[in-house]
Structure 1
Amino acid sequence: MSSCDHELLFTASSIHAKTVGYKDPTPKQLLAAAHPSGRAPKHQEPPSDSTFPAPLVLPGDDLALDPEYEPQSLKSWINEPHRNEVTVRRRALYVVPVPAVSKTVAFVDAWARPGKEHAKSSIDSPKADDVVQYLQAFYHGLPVKLLSKPRLQFMSWNETPQEDPETGRKYIGLNIGSQIIGIRSRPSKDKVFSGQLNLNDLLDAAMTMLPKDAYALLMLVDHDLYEDEEDDFCCGRAYGGSRVSVVSTARYNPALDDAQEVEREHPWPASHCRDYVDMCCQEAHEAPMKLAMKPTSPDSSPLGEAVSAFQSLPVPTAAAEFRNLWLGRLCKTASHELGHCFGMDHCVYYACIMQGTTGLTEDAGQPPYLCPVDLAKVLTATGSDEATWARSMLKFCERFSNDRMFIAFAAWLKGRLLEIEGIDA
């Protein structure tokens, strides 16, 4: 079991949020944001903060760096002129499995594994089929398909020099069946991996192979990615208007957690642990800080049940446990990046899978669920309803009863379903 018992939970924004200027939305603003009219219904309260907590806004978090990020309500999402509508002819979501590597560029295969000075991983990266099934639940109501033919393959790129002598940048070809597309690459800046592929080039390739009936496409890669020259790495990105996204498995490898300072005691839902929130805020401020709100003990609320379920399993140490931990991390990012293809911006209303993130620690601390505002957007696009969505997600999560995130998500979903049934009664 973990050394922290998560005895007390925070469901509000941290005291650091106040110091950087983040302003919590009022209950009326939260209700209005989730209503298509943009007005708060009378005689109605937003869901409990023990179901949908506020964003934590810890030091270094995305909202801490940009506390005035413009919110996107359901109404503004509906009225967004560049948002792509789901149509009868264009409604399928496609997942492209990790490309193969040809013998002509065998060195690229090694780039998908951590460098010599880092821990080696004996487990395989997550399977595309599992990601497809997760997304089938998450975007319930839309078909999610594996685009396995033609099988993508990295190969030599002969139209430009193989290596730039000044930058060390190599050009790799990606065969997508109809053509071979050049993908820039470079040595990894932080040397966690020996090489990285350019994210923007992969997104361009995704656009080229977008099927006619596709609403959106997600490409999976095992290689580390970079977007701009100043980046150390990037785990994923979407060209939302173009309906394509790319997500890398590389940095989510649990074998790299120590090297990347990703601790396993306080991912969601334990990210709401009072002691953890307190520690993060104290470390960022020289003077002692007074906690903003009295924390609550875990209870029978969805968040409380999620923390109890999380605590029921030990910190993962076995290969099978690492495999599911890796899958959970990847699924969260896959659902987030596809969310951008649905026209959703980063969330500022609640702790939510659509929050922006500045790194792996914040990524791990964010929940896998959609908040009331963003769930309303997805349900509008897919034609599903919240209870059906929750049951679909629950069925998937219960397959992974030995993983802390999935079992916690299952407990949260059960609690939320009880709330929904109470509202409908």
Structure 2
Amino acid sequence: MQTIRHSEQTLKTALISKTPALVSQYESLDAGERRLMNEAFQPNSALFEPITLHSESDWITSHPEAPQDFEQFFNDPKRKTPSPEKSSIYIQSIGSLGNTRIISEEYIKWLKGYCEAFFYGLTVKLLEPIPVSATRCSFRVNAHTQNLQIHTGDILTFLKRKKPENAFCVVGITMIDLYPRDSWNFVFGQASLTDGVGIFSFARYGSDFYSSRYEGKVKKLEKSSSSEYSVFDNYYIPEITSVFLLRSCKTLTHEIGHIFGMRHCQWLSCLMQGSNHLEEADRRPPNLCPICLRKLQCAIGFNIVERYKALLRWIDDEPSNKPGVTPKHSREGNVNLPKRVEAFKEWKEWIMKCLAVLQK
């Protein structure tokens, strides 16, 4: 293992900047917010740890990138900021999300609520679910997993055309694996900062993804007839568990973070770190480091205390498990919703520690 440990001065400059206007902007934050963010450059902070690399296959090793500090984020001419006219995040589900309608609906409501808390101050709206065929995307069978995949570029083009006028961004979510180009094995998600669109798959977060193989054959990558999309009917859908939900929330907020102009974090252990595989994605925490938190606060303008309280409310709000509302003799009758708080216990405890610092 290798630990990436930056000096206190490097982290302080990355967070605060040396530009007088940005230093003044930082000093205008309330004392509690500065106290929390200053944890970024405190040696042995109990809240924000250095990045640990476990293997050569980890993202930072295999995808060298220049780090982005707050000043670079602030001055990025391509960065998009929400406005009163464009202040909504839209979520578009593509294909089935759950084995029953109730689970699918509850799951996407959980994601909506989490995004509203994470991007506190913005409105999150759900678009009507659509089948894969509506996107007219290319698809293939992955040579390694033998599972179906859909093409991210085609999906992004579709979402761009469908983007509502008042949208800051529109993001597609699916349980079908993704590939960005023929030469790539897969990708968890892809976003376009310029167009304000993204597509994210949670397929590989299912415990049985690698043992579920598609037995049919797809001979061509390009599809022209809607009838050919029938291969996605009753296709593999992973079980929604608390761990699965945590993984989904992390991926969704990470990728939307890119639409705000936040690049992969290389400062501290942070949600905005890149990930090449599931083990690395699981090591990535759900929280933003102070440098990335300042970027998001600058873009949205939220109060950090109120944002953390909103996240706590979401974690503590148990699902409305009401199987009695479905018709008899329906596959909707077997409802097994997870207690989402189980996988979020460490996240909840961490937030409470942050609130203690903020409200000291």
Q: 1:362, CA displacement in angstroms? A: 0.3
Q: Which SS does the other structure have where 1:350 is aligned?
A: coil
Q: State whether structure 2 residue 28 is matched by structure 1 residue 31.
A: no
Q: Which SS does the other structure have where 2:243 is aligned?
A: helix
Q: Which among 61, 64, 85 is matched to residue 58 of structure 2? A: 61
**Is the 1:352–1:367 Cα contact (8 Å) retained in structure 2?**
yes
Q: Which SS does the other structure have where 2:52 is aligned?
A: coil
Q: For residue 170 of structure 2, what is the aligned residue in structure 1? A: 217
Q: State whether structure 2 residue 253 is matched by structure 1 residue 335.
A: yes
**Is the 2:73–2:262 Cα contact (8 Å) retained in structure 1?**
yes
Deviations 1:174-217 (A, max 9, x none): 2xxxxxx5311111222352x21111111111111111111111
Q: Which among 99, 112, 117 is matched to residue 137 of structure 1? A: 117
Q: Which SS does the other structure have where 1:408 is aligned?
A: helix
Counterparts of 1:339 and 1:87, CA distance in 2: 16
Deviations 1:85-109 (A, max 9, x none): 2211111111112346xxxxxxxxx
Unaligned runs of 5+ in 1: 1-13, 18-22, 101-111, 114-119, 156-173, 175-180, 260-320
Q: For residue 188 of structure 1, what is the aligned residue in structure 2? A: 142
Matches within 5 A, 1:80-91: 80-91=76-87
Paired amino acid for 2:190: R
Comparing 403-412 with 128-137, greater Cα deviation is found at 403-412
Show structure 1 runs of 4+ deviating over 6 A: 39-45
Q: 1:398, CA displacement in angstroms? A: 2.3
Deviations 1:53-88 (A, max 9, x none): 01112212112334x531111111010011112211
Q: Which SS does the other structure have where 2:51 is aligned?
A: coil
Counterparts of 1:70 and 1:405, CA distance in 2: 33
Q: 1:420, CA displacement in angstroms? A: 1.4
Decide whether aligned partners of structure 1 residues 257 and 362 sit closer, same or farther in structure 2, where only a CA change above 3 A counts: farther
Q: For residue 269 of structure 1, what is the aligned residue in structure 2? A: none
Q: 1:380, CA displacement in angstroms? A: 1.0
Q: For residue 410 of structure 1, what is the aligned residue in structure 2? A: 348
Q: 1:399, CA displacement in angstroms? A: 3.2
**Is the 2:245–2:340 Cα contact (8 Å) retained in structure 1?**
no
Q: For residue 5 of structure 1, what is the aligned residue in structure 2? A: none
**Is the 1:238–1:341 Cα contact (8 Å) retained in structure 2?**
yes
Decide whether aligned partners of structure 1 residues 257 and 402 sit closer, same or farther in structure 2, where only a CA change above 3 A counts: farther
Q: State whether structure 2 residue 356 is matched by structure 1 residue 356.
A: no
Deviations 1:339-363 (A, max 9, x none): 0000000000011000011111100
Q: State whether structure 2 residue 295 is matched by structure 1 residue 377.
A: yes
Counterparts of 2:303 and 2:19, CA distance in 1: 20
Unaligned runs of 5+ in 2: 28-34, 213-238, 319-338
Q: State whether structure 2 residue 58 is matched by structure 1 residue 78.
A: no
Q: For residue 317 of structure 2, what is the aligned residue in structure 1? A: 399
Q: Which among 197, 201, 223 is matched to residue 244 of structure 1? A: 197
Q: Which SS does the other structure have where 2:172 is aligned?
A: strand
Q: TM-score, normalised by structure 2?
A: 0.75
**Is the 1:398–1:407 Cα contact (8 Å) retained in structure 2?**
no
Paired amino acid for 2:167: A
Q: 1:404, CA displacement in angstroms? A: 4.1
Q: For residue 203 of structure 1, what is the aligned residue in structure 2? A: 156
Counterparts of 1:328 and 1:138, CA distance in 2: 13
Paired amino acid for 1:236: G
Matches within 5 A, 1:33-182: 33-35=14-16, 37=18, 46-47=41-42, 49-59=45-55, 60-66=57-63, 69-99=65-95, 127-148=107-128, 151-155=129-133, 174=134, 181-182=135-136
Counterparts of 2:183 and 2:248, CA distance in 1: 24
Q: 1:405, CA displacement in angstroms? A: 3.0
Structure richer in helix, relative to its length: 2
Paired amino acid for 1:420: L
Counterparts of 1:359 and 1:240, CA distance in 2: 23
RMSD: 3.0
